[in-house]
Amino acid sequence: MKITVASGKGGTGKTTIAVNLALSIENSMLIDCDVEGPNSHIFFNDPMLKLKDVSIPAPKFDLDVCTRCGKCADFCQYNAISIIDEKLLFFEELCHGCGGCKIICPVDAITEVEHNVGLIEKGGTVDLTLYHGLLNIGEPFGVPIINELKRFAEGSKVTIFDSPPGTACPAVETMRDVDFCILVTEPTPFGLHDLTLTVDVIREIGTPFGVVVNRDGIGDDRVDRYCERENIPLLAKIPNDMEIAKLYSQGIPIVKGLPKYRELFKEIFDRIKEMV
Amino acid sequence: MVKELAIISGKGGCGKTTFASSFAALAKDHVIADADVDAADMHILLQPEIRTR
């Protein structure tokens, strides 16, 4: 089974929920897809070791062969290629590496070269394997690394994906093709606002989902009322417990320092199992 | 004089919007741009009147 932990708003507790859920259930593994700032590994003491580089194919143009016909420029959905005044311009930072220009070129003027965008590391503990990706500084698209990371999910295990924040491509990619999505929010106007945006996106994607309210008690009950009105299952509430905050500030998972919370995470998993 | 000030952070939820809105409240002649186009939240704090869309 594949479960993604996501949220529109940053800092709501995605990583906390993902790590503690993975530690509370049997036969699980954890994949941190926040390739711009992975944090899950901080909860574990063991070092992350490099597993592989991630590259995307980038076109290389043979300008002696190229007729400047413009078919590749017309094809490119991201405007990475332009023909202006018989000059071919390639904007590498816009290229998504789809390889379409090479296929479309009628005179075979395009070959592909590997363009490194980041890497994947592996770590965790003896009981729980953790993978994460790191996007190179200056690279705009984390999606190729997320796609590569998702391939490490083992069919026999419960894979927990920790999503990047937001509602754009990297978050969408992490919420797609999974069995269930947990949306983490906080009971504040900001949490509610960004939750509604994420709900709009995930309904478009079609992944079944439910909500976990983190730091319950700091705000009001508007997230509860929103979920009730929208018929969204409220999976659990994590209380605004000073002991949890203390553990977090020391980089210790909740269920390691406060084992009583293991039940709460098991219940979240049981409710998800009923729904998928 | 400071002309453009960017408020950023690697980690989410650590207080960018809170910090930026507080600075905005202190500045006299200012323009605020919420560049978090995925999930902009500044309007919740400042409650601006929308003039054009």
Q: How far apart are CA A261 and CA A114, in angstroms?
A: 46
pLDDT at A87 over 90: yes
Q: Which among A36, A37, A166 is the nearest to B39, CB-wise?
A: A166
Provide the pLDDT confidence category of residue A140 given band limits of 50, 70 and 90: confident
In this prediction, residue A246 carries a pLDDT of 97
Provide the pLDDT confidence category of residue B38 given band limits of 50, 70 and 90: confident
pLDDT at B1 over 90: no
Locus of tokens 């592909």: A112
Q: For residues A109 and A66, is the Cβ–Cβ distance under 8 A? A: yes
Distance from the A83 Cα atom to the nearest Cα atom in chain B, whole angstroms: 31
Q: Answer yes or no: do A165 and B14 touch at CB < 8 A.
A: no
Q: How far apart are CA A156 and CA A38, in angstroms?
A: 25
Single out the residue of B12, B37, B23, B44 nearest to residue A219, CA to CA: B44
Quick one: DSSP state of residue A93?
Answer: G
Q: Which among A10, A168, A197 is the nearest to B12, CB-wise?
A: A10
- Please provide the size of chain B in residues: 53
Which residues of chain B from 13 to 52 reach within 8 Å of chain A, CB to CB?
13-14, 17, 38-39, 41, 44
- Chain B partners of A6 at a C-beta cutoff of 8 Å? none
Q: Which residues pair with A114 in a beta bridge?
A: A57
In this prediction, residue A90 carries a pLDDT of 96
Q: For residues A205 and A172, is the Cβ–Cβ distance under 8 A? A: yes
Of A49 and B24, the structure prediction assigns the larger pLDDT to A49
Q: Which ipTM value was assigned to this complex?
A: 0.86
Quick one: DSSP state of residue A259?
Answer: G
Rg (CA), chain B: 12
Helix (H, G, I), strand (E, B) or coil at A59: strand
Quick one: DSSP state of residue A215?
Answer: E
Q: Answer yes or no: do B41 and A37 touch at CB < 8 A.
A: no
Number of H helices and E strands in chain A, helices first, is 10, 11
**A79 token code pair:** 């405007």
In this prediction, residue A72 carries a pLDDT of 97
- Chain A partners of B12 at a C-beta cutoff of 8 Å? 9-12, 165
A81-84 and A158-162 as β-strands: parallel, antiparallel, unpaired?
A: unpaired
pLDDT one-digit tens code per residue, A194-215: 999 999 999 999 999 999 999 9
Provide the pLDDT confidence category of residue A45 given band limits of 50, 70 and 90: confident
- Chain B partners of A8 at a C-beta cutoff of 8 Å? 38-39
In this prediction, residue B20 carries a pLDDT of 94
Single out the residue of A110, A106, A131 nearest to residue A52, CA to CA: A131
Distance from the B24 Cα atom to the nearest Cα atom in chain A, whole angstroms: 18
In A, minimum Cα distance to B17 occurs at: A190
* Sequential DSSP letters for A97-117: ---HHHHH-TT--EEEEEEEE
Angle between helix axes A189-205 and A222-229 (nearest 10 degrees) is: 20
Q: How far apart are CA A91 and CA A177, in angstroms?
A: 31
Residue A146 CB partners (closer than 8 Å, separation 6+): A33, A35, A133, A170, A173, A174
Q: For residues A131 and A120, is the Cβ–Cβ distance under 8 A? A: yes
Category of A206 on φ-ψ map: left (φ > 0), alpha (ψ -120 to 50) or beta: left
pLDDT at B2 over 90: no
The angle formed by the CA atoms of residues A226, A229 and A234, to the nearest 5 degrees, is 60
A102 residue type, one letter = K
Angle between helix axes A14-24 and A262-275 (nearest 10 degrees) is: 90
Which alpha helices (H) appear in chain A, and where do they start and end? Answer: 14-24, 71-75, 100-104, 143-150, 169-175, 189-205, 222-229, 242-249, 254-257, 262-275
